Amino acid sequence: MKVVIIGGVAGGATAAARLRRLDEQAEIVVFERSGYVSYANCGLPYYIGGVIEDPEALTLQTPESFFSRFRVTMKVRHEATALHPERKTVSVKNLETDEEFEEPYDKLLLSPGAKPTQPRLPGVGLEKLFTLRTVEDTFRIKDYIRQNHPRSAVLAGGGFIGLELAENLRELGMEVTIVQRPKQLMNPFDPDMAAFIHSEVRANGVKLALGYTVEGFQERDGGVDVLLKDNAPLHADMVVLAIGVTPDTALAKEAGLELGLKGSIVVNSRMETSLPDIYAVGDAVQVRHSVTGQDVLLSLAGPANKQGRIAADNICGGDSRYLGSQGSSVLKVFGMTAAVTGVSETNAKKAGLDADAVVLSPMSHAGYYPGGKLMTMKVIFEKETFRLLGAQIVGYEGVDKRIDVLAAAIHAGLTAIRLKDLDLAYAPPYSSAKDPVNMAGFLIENLAKGVVKQFRIEDVGGLPRDGSVTLLDARTPQEYAGGHIEGFRNIPVDELRQRLEEIAPGKPVYVICQSGLRSYIACRILAGHGYEAHNFSGGFRFYDAVANDRRLIESATACGMDQ
C-alpha cells in the first residue's frame, strides 16, 4: 500500500507516524510546501518575543529524523499542484528545481491546513505588512525587527495569534495597538468574560481599537497607515494581519471534493472525503461541534492530531471515529490565563439552545494558604435539562486544570448539577475542599431546586427604580462607598436580620454583594422571612469589570482610541 500525504505539521505528520506504527510495509510519502515538515505553530509568537531563543526548538522533526525513525519519505519545498482522483495520482512541483511530476497513490490524505485570511483591501502586500502562520513567516518578522528596530506595531485581529503576538511585541518594548471590527477580543468567549482579558491587555500597555473597520493600508513616513472607516488612520512601523485563517482547499475544489463552510473539505466521522480513498484532516476540514451538533471550523492543534491518528487507523483497515470538537483551548495573556471549552452563552443562543449561566469568583486554592488568587468562572448550561454546554475561566493559577475538568465533564455528558459530585484532588496549596468546579455545581443545583433565584448583568438596567422592588447591596459600608450600582441601598448581610423592617414586605428583593456569596446568604435570610429574593450572578466585582469595559469601548468608538 502506498499512502501519499499532502501537508505535514499536526495532522499530516501525526498520520504518517501512526501509519508506520500500524503498517511496517506501507510506502509513505509526505509533500510539504514549506521548508519545515513538523513545527510548533503555537510557539511562533514566543520565538519572535525571545521567550524561545533557539529557532531549532520550533522544528519538532526534520525530514532526516522522520525517515530515520519511521522510514517515511518527507519531501519539503514540494507543492502539490493538482489531484487526479480518476487515475489516483497527485501532480507535484519541486519548488527548488521547478521539476514537475505525478506521484501515484493507493490512499491519499489531505492535510493542507489553513492560510491567513487576506482581505481584498488596498495596500495588502506592502513590505511592512506581515502575516504569521509558518516558520518562514516567523523568521521574516524576527529579521525585520532585528534589522529595523520598529517602535510600534498595529495588529489587525484579536484572536489567539493576535494576543500572543501583542504580548511578545510588548516584551520587546514596542507600542502595540490591536484593531478589529468586533467589539471584543477572543470570539470564543462571551463579551462579559472578554472584559477581563481586555483589562489585562490594557494594563500591560496595549491599546485597543475595538469596533473599527479596517479599509486598507498605505505607506507613509517610513511606516504604514492603517486606514479606518470614518476614523483617522493608525500609524505604525509595522502591521501584522491576524484576522483569522481560511481553509487552504483550492486543490480539493479543483478535484471535485465536496466542500462546506468557507470552502472547507466535508468529511465523515472516519475522516473520509466525498471521493474514494481520499481522506482529509486538520484546519482544512469541516467538523461537527459536539455540543451544538452544528458544522464548524476549529483551527486547533489537538483536534488535528486526533484526526490524523483516526485517518491513519482507517487507512490501515480500522474503524476509528472522530466524535466532534468542543473547542477546548487555553491562552496566556501576559500574567493572566484565559481558557474556554464547549460553547459560549452567545453562540449557544444563536444555535437555538435555551441557555443560562452562573458566574462565580472562587480562589485558586484554600484562602488561608498564602498566594491564592481569584479566578472568574462562567459555566453555561441548558435550562430545564441542565445539560452542560460550556465554560469560560479567566484568572491566574489553576485555570487550566479547572477547564480540563469541565471539558471532560462535557465530553462525558454530565449535567451541570453533577459537577457537585466530582471527587477532585484537594490540598491547601492546590485547591479547596469545595473545588471551584464543585462550587459551580452547587450553584446550579440551588437554581434547579429553587433554593435561590438569580438575576444577571443584562437584567440590571431594566430593574425598576420606582420602589416596586427593593434593590439591596449586602456589602460593608466601606465597600459600598468604593462603588455601587445606582439605586441599590446598603444593608450589610450581618445586619440584615436586625433591619428587616427597612425592607418593604410583599415586594421582590434584588441583592448584590462583592462576589455573590454574601448576597446568597442574604437571599436565604430574606426567603426565610417570606420575601422573594434574587441573587446577582457574579457579584459587584464582575458587574464593575464588565460595565467599565463597556464604557471604555463605547467612549473609544465615539471619541478615539481606547487607552
pLDDT digits (tens, 9 = 90+) for 172-198: 999 999 999 999 999 999 999 999 999
**Residue 563: what pLDDT?**
47
Specify the residue for cell string 483591501. Answer: 121
Residue 42 annotated as catalytic: yes
Separation between Cα atoms, residue 300 and residue 305, nearest integer Å: 9
Among 388, 405, 404, 399, which residue's Cα sits nearest to residue 362? 399
**Residue 299: what pLDDT?**
85
**Residue 243: what pLDDT?**
82
User: For residue 358, which amino acid is it?
Assistant: V
Kindly give the parts of the chain with pLDDT less than 50: 563
The DSSP element (H or E) to which 226 belongs, if any, is strand 223-228
**Residue 513: what pLDDT?**
97
**Residue 559: what pLDDT?**
62
* Grid cell of 562 as nine digits: 481606547
**Residue 562: what pLDDT?**
57
Strand, helix or coil at 170? helix
In the set 42, 316, 513, 523, the catalytic residue is 42
Among 235, 236, 198, which residue's Cα sits nearest to residue 553? 198
